[in-house]
Structure 1
């Protein structure tokens, strides 16, 4: 009979440089983090970038070595001038390559925004031109389709108290 402790012993021939070379050879994916912030009336906060024709949730790119949660908090600080009161992860959404842009994994965190916080929002004028509180059923008129598809499952995840996994804003088809 094999000794389980022996099976778990470190391999004396293990070369950490081999691990580094292996990981360096793997493909990389982009990551983004966003906040779905709701006010007391259930309206979601949307922001209008100066560099895109559509609105979006506050958030942005995850920087090298940064966690999705840290990126969400940092981006909200940069974009809104406040640290959001986040309640947890709502979804991970795999965004497939589109229009010459690589695939991206988007992490959406849920949170609350009270009237005082809303009144204190300060937008960076070089990045955002406006913000609005929008009823969820009207959000699709502001958002591009791939972001609009994500909001319904995120709101359902918030109500259910558990995150969902999406692919291009749609629930993933899991095998039975």
Structure 2
């Protein structure tokens, strides 16, 4: 068997896109959602991982940029493998625990990033039509991970394994 030279092998490796978001929730079980200006579906605070950046660093940076919160980041709740959909290549989506946020704190958020139009606390069931189906499933898995203390591994938002 002929082996590629190491540098050529490294260049041949697949690359995956990554995103990192933060789940904030209130005592009633609502989640903090943001309305982006650049896409039709609502999201959680977060964004694309830059080259050379760790997902947890992205989560902290994006939260500060989008909604002005500067809080310690909690544990990872979800790692989701997102399949190539023909438009976007496959990737990994991380969801970290942001902890509890009050209604007043959510109302007081200062949205200075032009990418974000609004932010509000909503129940997942009530927000379903605002969210991509895969994100709704990922957020349900994240809420379950908060309750169980277990990391949720998902494929397109669907928890895998038992």
User: Which residue number in structure 2 is paired with residue 107 of structure 1?
Assistant: 94
Gaps spanning 5+ residues in structure 1: where?
Answer: 1-17
Match of 1:11 in 2: none
Pair 1:127 & 2:120 matched: no
Cα offsets for 1:76-133 (capped at 9, x unmatched): 0110111234321001001101142101100000122245642441213521111110
2:131 to 140, 143, 152: 143
The residue that corresponds to 1:168 in the other structure is: 156
Specify the alignment match of 2:142 in structure 1: 154
Which ranges of structure 2 fall in alignment gaps of 5 or more residues?
none
Q: Distance in 2 between matches of 1:94 and 1:61?
A: 14
The match for 2:16 is 29
User: Is 2:53 the counterpart of 1:70?
Assistant: no
Task: Flag the 1:125–1:31 CA change in 2: closer, same or farther, 3 A.
Answer: closer
TM-score normalised to the size of structure 2? 0.88
CA distance in 1 between counterparts of 2:103 and 2:118 reads 17
Q: Is contact 1:47–1:132 with CA below 8 Å preserved after alignment? A: yes
For residues 131 and 120 of structure 1, the distance between their equivalents in structure 2, rounded to whole angstroms, comes to 10
Summarize the Cα distance change of 1:30–1:37 in structure 2 as closer, same or farther, 3 Å threshold: same
C-alpha separation between the residues in 1 aligned to 2:110 and 2:125? 26
In 1, the alpha carbon distance for the partners of 2:62 and 2:134 equals 20
Q: Which of 90, 106, 119 is residue 118 of structure 1 equivalent to?
A: 106
Quick one: higher RCO (CA 8 Å, sep 6+), 1 or 2?
A: 2
